[in-house]
Amino acid sequence: MSQSNRKPPSQSQILPGFPTLGLPELLQCLSALGIPAQMEDLTKPTPGTTQGIYAGLIEALMGAPVESIEAPKKALLGMMEYKEMYGDALQFTMFFRHVRDLANLCGITNFSLADITRPEAARFRTVLSGIMNFAKFRDERAHFQAHLQARLQEQAEKTVSLRQKIDQVENDISEITARNAAERPQSEQAQKRNDGLRAELLELRSQQIKLSGEVEELKKERQGLMDQAAHNAHLNTQIQHQILSTKSRLVQSPDRIKKQITEMTLSLSSEKARLSSFQLKARELSNRLEVITSLELDLKNLIDLQKTIEGQKSKIEESKRAKTSWVSKKESKEMELKNLQSRSDQLQRQIENAQNKLDRQQELTNEIREKHNKRLEDLKAEYKVRTKERGGWQKQRDLLLAEQKELENEMANFIQTHENEINDLLQEYWTMRRQAEDYMNTMTIKLGLQVRA
């Protein structure tokens, strides 16, 4: 018959997609989960013991104790009339909903209300086997799931830290931008002032160069005048000495002496006038040197001011470069954030693909298990048939072995008899051959024939 004409198996004939555990193993698993149970609770289940075991399984595997139903039950009863009528039924319905969700999660899709109110031992054992298989599978895959959750949590924390860093960088950039915007008028004003001071410094520099040349010339002229004044003072001293020496002499010609005195007085007055002019010129040169010195101090101050302005300008350029580097870092962090987000999405897709693959593998495993179970049943039935046939064939084999043994005995006796007969015949043959040879020799001798070899 084709598959389309086959009737679907009944609920009692559907084989579970997981191995059924034995009663001692179920008791061991329940005790490992901290659920008290006896062998009688599994072999002869009652609604009370069954509900107690299911309540312990819900609390151990789903983290939902029976007390957690009270809050939503009170919230639902608050929206109903006649609360006393629906209180117990609502609590039982919510408890059944939790147990059915756990059973569906463990691969038991036909869990019904009768499994709680009218439990059967075989059915209860099947449901507990599915739940325990799921618990074992969850414990086996807990490390992998924890590893994935830890990686996901690490990626999330890294994403949050990167977002915080990006926000901080953006705040720093906004502060720098606001500071630059606030300082832009001052910067432009300082730039204009720098340009004016630079032009003024250039002009003062040219003036300084000119004044330095004039100062050098004046210093040379002053040195010459000082040398000349020293020479004049020396001459004046000599003249004074000569006058004194002349006065001390006795001169016979007073007119000539007077004339010399007059000439010397005139020359002395002219030298004094020249000395006073030299002193006046020296004072003027000293005043000019003081002015040049003050100009040099002002020029030094302007140079220091220029250096300060250039330092501020370098700081502004450095802040601009820092801003550019922050912008580039922000862009790189944004790219890294996008990469991390894409990687997180990829990991999420991988988790989903792994879950889908696990589900498909579970379905395939269930199908293979069903096929194997069905094949096992067929093989068991065939084994029983073959066992019966084997008994008949064993009897025939024993008979044939007995007949074979008899035939082998008869064949051995026959071979022994024939071997004896053959030996007797060979002895008679060799006897007759010797007699024939003797007869031939005798006839040859009597007939006088020559026999050639």
> What confidence tens digit (pLDDT) does each residue in 66-82 have?
666 666 666 666 566 55
Q: How far is CA 326 from the centre of its chain?
A: 24
Which contacts (CB < 8 Å, 24+ apart) does range 273-281 have?
274/232, 275/229, 275/232, 275/233, 278/225, 278/228, 278/229, 279/229, 281/225
190-239 pLDDT, tens digit each? 778 878 877 887 888 788 788 878 878 888 887 888 888 788 788 878 87
Name the CA dihedral angle for 348, 350, 351, 357, rounded to a multiple of 10 degrees. Answer: 150
pTM, rounded to two decimals: 0.34
Element (H, E) at 189: helix 142-248
Half-sphere exposure at residue 232, Cβ-oriented, CA atoms within 13 angstroms = 19
pLDDT of residue 79: 61
The closest alpha carbon to 299, from 210, 382, 238, belongs to 210
pLDDT at 244 over 50: yes
The structural architecture, per CATH, of the domain 161-347 is Orthogonal Bundle (1.10)
pLDDT band at 422 (very low <50, low <70, confident <90, very high): confident
Residue 436: is its pLDDT beyond 70? yes
Q: What is the DSSP string of 227-282?
A: HHHHHHHHHHHHHHHHHHHHHHS--S-HHHHHHHHHHHHHHHHHHHHHHHHHHHHH
Average pLDDT over residues 258-279: 79
pLDDT at 88: 63
Q: What is the pLDDT of residue 201?
A: 77
Q: Kindly report the CATH number that applies to the domain delimited by 23-140.
A: 1.10.418.60
Domain boundaries, the chain: 23-140, 161-347
pLDDT band at 3 (very low <50, low <70, confident <90, very high): very low
d(CA 54, CA 105): 14
Take residue 116 and report the two structure tokens written for it: 């709680």
Q: What is the pLDDT of residues 179-195, one digit of tens each?
A: 878 877 877 887 788 78
Alpha-carbon distance values, 261 to 239, 248, 255, 269, 380 (Å): 11, 13, 10, 12, 170
- Residue 43 in this model has a pLDDT that exceeds 80: yes
82-91, 142-151, 299-308, range with the lowest pLDDT? 82-91
pLDDT tens, residue by residue, 372-405: 788 888 888 888 888 888 787 888 878 888 888 8
Query: 226: which 2 tokens?
Result: 């000082």
Average pLDDT of the chain is 77
Q: For residue 2, is pLDDT > 50?
A: no
pLDDT value at 6 more than 60: no
Nearest residue to 136 via CA among 31, 233, 29: 29
- Give residue-wise pLDDT tens across range 344-366: 777 777 778 777 777 877 887 78
The pLDDT value recorded for residue 173 is 82
Q: With the C-alpha atoms ordered 131, 133, 134, 138, is the resulting torsion angle positive or negative? A: positive
Asked if pLDDT for residue 285 goes beyond 70, the answer is yes
- Give yes or no for a contact between 246 and 257, defined as CB atoms under 8 angstroms apart: yes
Of residues 76 and 441, more confidently modeled: 441
